[in-house]
């Protein structure tokens, strides 16, 4: 159990002149839950395809569970949910979950899988007659059918409604709790923030920053100080210590700052009153936008 | 793998259009041809009704094998099922074998139904061993066509798969002597016919109906085509799963 779950070693993948992945390096240890976060076109899906053996790198090396990606997949150690994975038409939901079970060496009981993916109600429906969210739940059941060591999820909740999404992540956390390594690609900031131990932010095919959600926020995010300005002018606010931006909206003004404490101290020194003052911690959205620009 | 095979067979039960086309058409064509050529004298001890029966059974079996594989596989490439298979622990060999065997299974009803029609419509009789031998050999002989259909499915794009496959189907049937006897064709085309798997396939049945055994050449050619098409299908399957 000493091998890493995933190793990307300076990996590049070109499609003609397009460098979809451009010197990507990252390591995921066994048991971690990691989010691959980035805007569309960042290279997340390409990275997922590389680590599933669907693509071969133009340069560099991808190692999954100590072996080549296709070897680990063939050994039944990897379960994956593809963004554009299809389903076999003409057969039932239960039949397809049964097929996944039959292919893996250590499958989980069918009843458990149907319950976890919330498929018991539609177990006998044909796979080509499912809604988007139902199809995603089916693909999730097929991904976990073999109790894999590594679970790879590419944009897993795009078609799900809020309840389904919450139930989905509750399930995934359950898997992570019993030792499964989970890697999910997403462009939803909150999803990464709420469900990952670690976030790898990618843009333009390479890693921009790699760390825990709070580390990323504190490194690249900025704090905000907001108060009611009323009729006063904003002159001089931008010269306060730490302030990088001044944003006036109606009666209240928001100051972006790299050092909230210094800014607040200076505010109180310069003014008699600072009504409705609020100080907010770094926002992942700001961090993300700043990093991926 | 057996689960995959079972599913491949079962899914065709839900495709009524396929079932009607592949089962009803050979019967209809048999009735048509056997009526048109009713006056033809027997050849090699084989009556025209029997010759047509074997031709149409072969025609139906080839059609079932081709149309059960190629259009479906092309659709699977488009709708993403192929990618889903590739991320599960199932090998290229298993996927293709399941497809080929499932398609062969669906060749059998075509053969049986045409045989039944011949008995009912024209009172065709043969010694029991001939029925079994012809049916069995024709069923086995669908393998190269199932492999051909699989290959075509991975070769063609989603839209064109049906048309291309159907065109090849008709070409194989016409030039293989399944509609008109090969002797009617110009000499140059007759030489081509003897290489075509469709012709060799029907020969299996025709020779038995004439009281002889199929030749080694027939078997060898069909086996050869099977190897070629299966190999090509395997190569294309691996390559078709690369995204771009």
Helices B160-175 & B197-209 angle (0-180, nearest 10): 40
- Whether B244 has its CB under 8 Å from any CB of chain A: the answer is yes
Containing structural domain, residue B75: 2-240
Task: Give the residue range(s) of CATH 3.30.70 domains in chain A.
Answer: 219-292
**Would you tell me how many other CB atoms lie within 10 Å of the CB of residue B81?**
20
Which residues of B fall within a CB distance of 8 Å from A102? 2-4
Q: Is A279 helix (H, G, I), strand (E, B) or coil?
A: strand
pLDDT at A153: 96
Provide the residue count of chain A. Answer: 293
- pLDDT band for A293, please (50, 70, 90 cuts): low
Task: Give the residue range(s) of CATH 3.40.50.300 domains in chain A.
Answer: 6-211
- What is the rounded radius of gyration, in angstroms, for the C-alpha atoms of chain A? 23
Distance CA A187, CA A166 (A): 17
Nearest Cα of chain A lies from the Cα of B146 at a distance, in angstroms, of 19
Which residues of A fall within a CB distance of 8 Å from B238? none
Instruction: Quickly name the fold that domain A219-292 has.
Output: Alpha-Beta Plaits (3.30.70)
Q: Hey, what are A103's tokens?
A: 């292919």
Number of domains in chain B: 1
Q: Hey, what are B51's tokens?
A: 């010759």
Interval A67-100: pLDDT, tens: 999 999 999 999 999 988 889 988 999 999 999 9
- pLDDT band for A150, please (50, 70, 90 cuts): very high
Nearest Cα of chain A lies from the Cα of B4 at a distance, in angstroms, of 6
Nearest in space to B59 (alpha carbons), one of B114, B20, B13 = B114
- pLDDT band for B179, please (50, 70, 90 cuts): confident
Distance CA A269, CA A240 (A): 11
pLDDT at A219: 66
Give yes or no for a contact between A219 and A35, defined as CB atoms under 8 angstroms apart. no
B193 exposure class (CB count in 10 Å sphere: 0-12, 13-18, 19+): buried
pLDDT at A33: 96
Provide the residue count of chain B. Answer: 244
Phi, psi of B114 (to 5 degrees): -65, -45
Cross-chain Cβ contact B81/A87 below 8 Å: yes
- CATH class belonging to A6-211: alpha beta
Which residues of B fall within a CB distance of 8 Å from A55? 242-243
Cross-chain Cβ contact A103/B90 below 8 Å: yes
Question: What separation, in Å, do the N-terminal and C-terminal C-alpha atoms of chain B show?
Answer: 28
- What is the rounded radius of gyration, in angstroms, for the C-alpha atoms of chain B? 18
Bridge partner residues of A151 (DSSP): A79, A182
- Whether B10 has its CB under 8 Å from any CB of chain A: the answer is yes
B244: nearest CA partner in chain A: A15
Distance CA A28, CA A75 (A): 19
Q: Hey, what are A240's tokens?
A: 């306060």
Interval A111-135: pLDDT, tens: 999 998 999 999 999 998 999 889 9
């Amino acid at each position: 159990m000493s091998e890493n779950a995933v190793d990307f070693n300076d990996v590049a993948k070109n499609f003609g002149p397009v460098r979809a992945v451009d010197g990507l390096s990252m390591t995921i240890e066994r048991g971690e839950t990691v989010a691959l976060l980035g805007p569309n076109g960042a290279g997340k899906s390409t990275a997922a395809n590389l680590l599933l053996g669907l693509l071969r790198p133009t340069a560099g090396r991808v190692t999954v569970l100590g072996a080549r990606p296709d070897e680990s997949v063939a050994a039944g150690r990897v379960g994956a949910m593809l963004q554009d994975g299809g389903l076999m038409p003409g057969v039932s939901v239960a039949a397809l979950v049964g097929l996944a079970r039959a292919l893996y060496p250590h499958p989980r009981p069918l009843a458990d899988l149907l319950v976890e993916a919330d498929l018991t109600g539609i177990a006998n429906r044909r796979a080509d007659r499912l809604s988007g969210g139902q199809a995603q739940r089916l693909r999730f059941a097929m991904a976990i059918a073999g109790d894999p060591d590594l679970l790879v999820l590419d944009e897993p909740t795009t078609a799900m409604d809020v309840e389904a999404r919450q139930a989905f992540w509750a399930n995934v956390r359950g898997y992570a709790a019993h030792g499964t390594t989970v890697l999910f690609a997403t462009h939803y900031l909150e999803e990464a923030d709420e469900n990952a131990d670690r976030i790898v932010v990618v843009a333009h095919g390479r890693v921009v920053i790699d760390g825990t959600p709070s580390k990323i926020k504190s490194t690249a995010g900025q704090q905000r100080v907001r108060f009611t300005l009323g009729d006063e002018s904003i002159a001089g606010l931008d010269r306060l210590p730490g302030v990088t931006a001044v944003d006036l909206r109606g009666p209240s003004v928001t100051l972006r700052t790299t050092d909230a404490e210094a800014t607040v101290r200076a505010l109180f020194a310069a003014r008699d009153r600072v009504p409705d003052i609020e100080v907010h911690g770094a926002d992942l959205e700001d961090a993300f936008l700043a990093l991926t620009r | 793998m057996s689960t995959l095979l079972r599913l491949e067979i079962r899914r065709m039960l839900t495709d009524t259009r396929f079932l009607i086309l592949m089962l009803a058409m050979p019967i209809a064509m048999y009735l048509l041809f056997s009526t048109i050529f009713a006056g033809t004298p027997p050849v090699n001890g084989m009556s025209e009704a029997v010759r047509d029966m074997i031709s149409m059974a072969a025609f139906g079996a080839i059609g079932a094998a081709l149309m059960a594989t190629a259009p479906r596989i092309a659709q699977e490439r488009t709708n993403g099922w192929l990618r889903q298979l590739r991320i599960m622990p199932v090998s290229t060999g298993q996927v293709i074998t399941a497809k080929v065997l499932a398609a062969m299974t669906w060749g059998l009803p075509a053969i049986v139904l045409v045989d039944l029609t011949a008995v009912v419509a024209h009172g065709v009789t043969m010694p029991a061993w001939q029925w079994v031998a012809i049916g069995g050999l024709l069923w086995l002989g669908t393998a190269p066509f199932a492999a051909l259909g699989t290959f075509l499915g991975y070769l063609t794009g989603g839209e064109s798969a049906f048309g291309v496959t159907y065109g090849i189907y008709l070409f194989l049937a016409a030039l293989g002597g399944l509609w008109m006897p090969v002797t009617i064709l110009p000499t140059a085309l007759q030489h081509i016919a003897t290489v075509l798997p469709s012709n060799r396939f029907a020969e299996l049945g025709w020779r038995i109906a004439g009281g002889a055994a199929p030749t080694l050449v027939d078997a060898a050619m069909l086996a050869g085509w099977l190897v070629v098409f299966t190999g090509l299908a395997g190569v294309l399957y691996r390559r078709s799963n690369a995204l771009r």
